[in-house]
A and B are shown apart, each in its own frame.
Chain A
Amino acid sequence: MIKTDALIIGAGPTGLFTAHQLKLIGLNCEIVDNLDKIGGQCIELYPDKPIYDIPAIPECTGEELTNNLINQLKPFDIKFHLSERVEEVKKNNENWEVKTNKGTEFSTSNIIIAGGVGSFEPRKFSPKECEKFENKSIFYLIKDKSIFKGKTLSIFGGGDSALDWAIELSKDSKVNLIHRRDEFRGTQTTVDKMNDLAKNGKINLFTKYQLKSANGKENLESIDVEHDNKEVKNLKTDYVLGFFGLIMQLGPIANWGLNLDKKHIPVNTENFETNQKGIFAIGDICTYPGKLKLILSGFHEGALAARGCFKYARPDEKLRFEFSTTSKSVHSRLGLKKND
């Protein structure tokens, strides 16, 4: 069981800056994120898109912002638990006990939910029968590509994941690539490569088609795909792969006893605490009158939530307000040399 003063759920910009604020006031923290990388929506949804409304940064991309926030955390040794999703949150006396899907356990006086609009999950096929084939013959991510060798695969999607896998798997498998329109949003070189393979008969390309049904009793036998003009084709297939990007799902957060307003968590604006003592919510996931879903608002909310954590983590101490320009204790936490 890992003991920490505050557990931050979400490694997006809000979670990262909040870690910095916690460390400046002398609290420890660890960060859990369901994605395999740091940066949250900034890195998953718009790494290359410029952001123009971060104070004092005229323009930066989601990736640059993330890298700057990681650099800002360098003086501190913060443990990240990536590719882990928090499943359970339970009260144990004064502390919260938290467990992830990988079995990591934490005991903490404070939880700060900086989870965007929940965790990123793959978007799935809409026909209901697809569920029963999921993880048997229908996949949304590939763990072991060797199972596809010599088989017939139907790959759906128009982005880089779908194209990259279609190209890669066409070496050893019969590949159908199916997309709802005839433009692909993948990078041009990848699209060109796929088109070459399609021309040479290595990939069977079906554009303007979507999945209509998945057929088979126990095992998947074939799929029906429907053209924009309603024409239906039956394709014999062993496996179906769907790459429709990631969507945000609130997930287990809904089970932690928090008040919810649609997919958001209501908080007070004094320290962004929820209806549960010691659980704070900041960034896109929180709501209060006047809430703006801006990164800068997340920074502000994190600064106040960090101070809100102090009284539970250090009940016998008094938090003094200090400026980073002048405070000796802040300087020592930042590892700065003493010049005076």
Chain B
Amino acid sequence: MPKITYIEHNGEAHTIEVTNGLSVMEGAVQNNIPGIDADCGGSMACATCHVYVKEEWFNKLPKKEDGEEDMIDMAFEPKKNSRLSCQLMVSDQLEGLVVNLPEKQV
């Protein structure tokens, strides 16, 4: 199971093993990582599972689908390296992924 690190806005890091096939959002929610709300449950309809992905990882991730960037427009403090974690599917390629969480989701 790939290890994924979620870093809260206050710097606290949580490294957990997430089963392949879950989304990065689900990994956080199932492990009670604070800072990911995921109000819509993963249907790309709310932008409350917003994360920042460091550059070296950002370019390795599958590209955004239509709609994700539109939704990120509505996220709290979007940046160039913003992603919706519900759209990031966990696989062995994501071993060691680090995501930073925004100050808040809404």
Interface residue ranges, A against B (CB under 8 Å):
41, 45-46, 117, 123, 126, 157-159, 179-181, 183, 185, 210, 228, 244-245, 247-249, 263, 284, 293
A41-B45, A46-B45 known; A185 vs B70 contact (CB < 8 Å): yes
Please count the residue pairs between chain A and chain B whose beta carbons lie under 8 angstroms apart in the complex.
49
Report chain A residues within 8 Å CB of B80.
228
Asked if B106 and A181 sit within 8 Å, CB to CB, the answer is no
Report chain B residues within 8 Å CB of A41.
40, 45
Report chain A residues within 8 Å CB of B46.
45, 117, 247-248
Asked if B40 and A249 sit within 8 Å, CB to CB, the answer is no
Asked if B41 and A158 sit within 8 Å, CB to CB, the answer is no
Complex alpha-carbon distance, A293 and B77, angstroms: 27
Q: Find the A residue at minimum CB distance from B42.
A: A293
- Which of these, A45, A159, A249, A263, contacts B73 with CB under 8 Å? A159
Report chain A residues within 8 Å CB of B17.
none
- Which of these, B39, B69, B74, B78, contacts A245 with CB under 8 Å? B74
Q: Find the A residue at minimum CB distance from B73.
A: A158
Report chain A residues within 8 Å CB of B69.
181, 183
Min CB–CB distance B92 → chain A (angstroms): 28
Q: Find the B residue at minimum CB distance from A157.
A: B73
Q: Does B48 touch A at the CB level, under 8 Å? A: yes
Offer 23 A-B interface pairs, CB within 8 angstroms, sorted by A.
A41-B45, A45-B40, A45-B46, A117-B39, A126-B77, A126-B103, A157-B73, A158-B73, A180-B73, A181-B69, A183-B69, A185-B70, A185-B73, A210-B77, A210-B78, A244-B73, A244-B74, A245-B74, A247-B39, A247-B74, A247-B106, A263-B39, A293-B41
